[in-house]
């Protein structure tokens, strides 16, 4: 795989093989036993980005405390799997550790602070120091997933603020169900105006460019980050489509 990535992806001849590297060098290069086994881990990362839309949102709405407590078994399972000698299981464990941070941040915001959209990003970023510190250690995969998810959240919130959607956030959430759907649909229609739509397209293009660049990076952690950001784009697109044509099914109201 090392030779394949160098010759076909980077376009240079490898100077040494993975087998020739000592264990410490493998760890420093991010190719330790928790390195992913290619696209299956990237697919798993994409699914974990989309999962909160279908599972976490209704769970937090009904029982936020139990949803937040679910972070504990997620984290415990991730740490346990990360200790396995099998690289795929160890990688899956590291991914779950990163996902548990995103899960807890989402539960805290949607469970208790959903009427304060400006608090969204700070709450989701509660584990930012840990993630930055883990980028060069054994938790590199966990950190890359968490940071990529956080970057996607930051882009989404930024676009919502610029396009004016965030100003209508509280009104939509506090409105009765029969009034919330039309309000959400009106907010989505405003996004289709020329200037807001240009902002959305520009942000999406820039984020997609990052995804393409990171996907071709030889480091699996970057490919995992690309998968997470690309899925964030897809989820945002689905949310906008739902807000336009079926706002009652968007999950926000």
Least confident of 31-40, 137-146, 192-201: 31-40
Higher pLDDT: 218 or 210? It is 210
Cα–Cα distance for residue pair 187/172, rounded to 1 Å: 9
Q: Residues 231-248: what's their mean pLDDT? A: 92
pLDDT at 2 over 70: no
**What is the model's pTM?**
0.82
Show Cβ contacts of residue 65 under 8 Å, excluding neighbours closer than 6 positions: 111
HEC string of 215-226 equals HCCCCHHHHHHH
For the stretch 81-94, pLDDT in tens is 999 989 999 999 99
What pLDDT digit, counting tens, does each position of 89-113 carry? 999 999 999 999 999 999 999 999 9
pLDDT single digits (tens) 26-80: 343 333 333 334 568 888 999 999 988 888 988 998 999 999 999 999 999 999 9
Which one, of 94, 171, 167, 193, lies nearest residue 134 by Cα?
94
Measure the CA–CA gap between 247 and 240, rounded to whole angstroms: 9
Six-digit token string for 81: 């799997």
Place 141 in a pLDDT band, splitting at 50, 70 and 90: very high
Rounded Cα–Cα distance for residues 34 and 238 (Å) = 32
Q: What is the DSSP letter of 55?
A: I
**Residue 38: predicted pLDDT:** 55
- What confidence category does residue 253 fall into, taking pLDDT thresholds of 50, 70 and 90? confident
Sequence-ordered list of residues with C-beta below 8 angstroms from that of 121, at least 6 positions apart, any chain? 150, 153, 154, 157
């Amino acid at each position: 795989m090392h030779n394949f990535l160098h010759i076909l992806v980077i376009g240079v001849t490898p100077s040494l093989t993975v087998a020739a590297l000592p264990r410490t060098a493998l760890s420093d290069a991010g190719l330790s036993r928790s390195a992913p086994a290619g696209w299956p881990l990237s697919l798993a990362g994409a699914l974990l980005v989309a999962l909160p839309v279908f599972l976490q949102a209704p769970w937090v709405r009904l029982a936020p405390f139990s949803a937040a407590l679910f972070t504990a078994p997620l984290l415990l399972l991730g740490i346990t799997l990360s200790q396995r000698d099998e690289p795929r299981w160890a990688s899956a464990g590291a991914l779950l550790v990163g996902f548990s941070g995103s899960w807890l941040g989402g539960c805290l915001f949607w469970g208790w602070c959903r009427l304060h959209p400006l608090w969204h990003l700070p709450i989701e970023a509660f584990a930012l120091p840990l993630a930055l510190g883990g980028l060069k250690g054994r938790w590199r995969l966990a950190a890359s997933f968490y940071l990529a998810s956080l970057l996607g959240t930051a882009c989404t919130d930024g676009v919502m603020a610029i396009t004016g959607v965030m100003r209508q956030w509280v009104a939509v959430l506090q409105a009765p169900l029969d009034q919330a759907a039309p309000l959400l649909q009106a907010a989505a229609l405003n996004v289709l105006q020329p200037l807001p739509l240009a902002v959305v397209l520009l942000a999406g293009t820039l984020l997609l460019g990052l995804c393409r660049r990171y996907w071709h990076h030889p480091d699996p952690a970057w490919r995992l980050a690309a998968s997470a950001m690309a899925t964030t784009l897809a989820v945002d697109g689905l949310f906008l489509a739902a807000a336009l044509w079926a706002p009652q099914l968007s999950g926000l109201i």
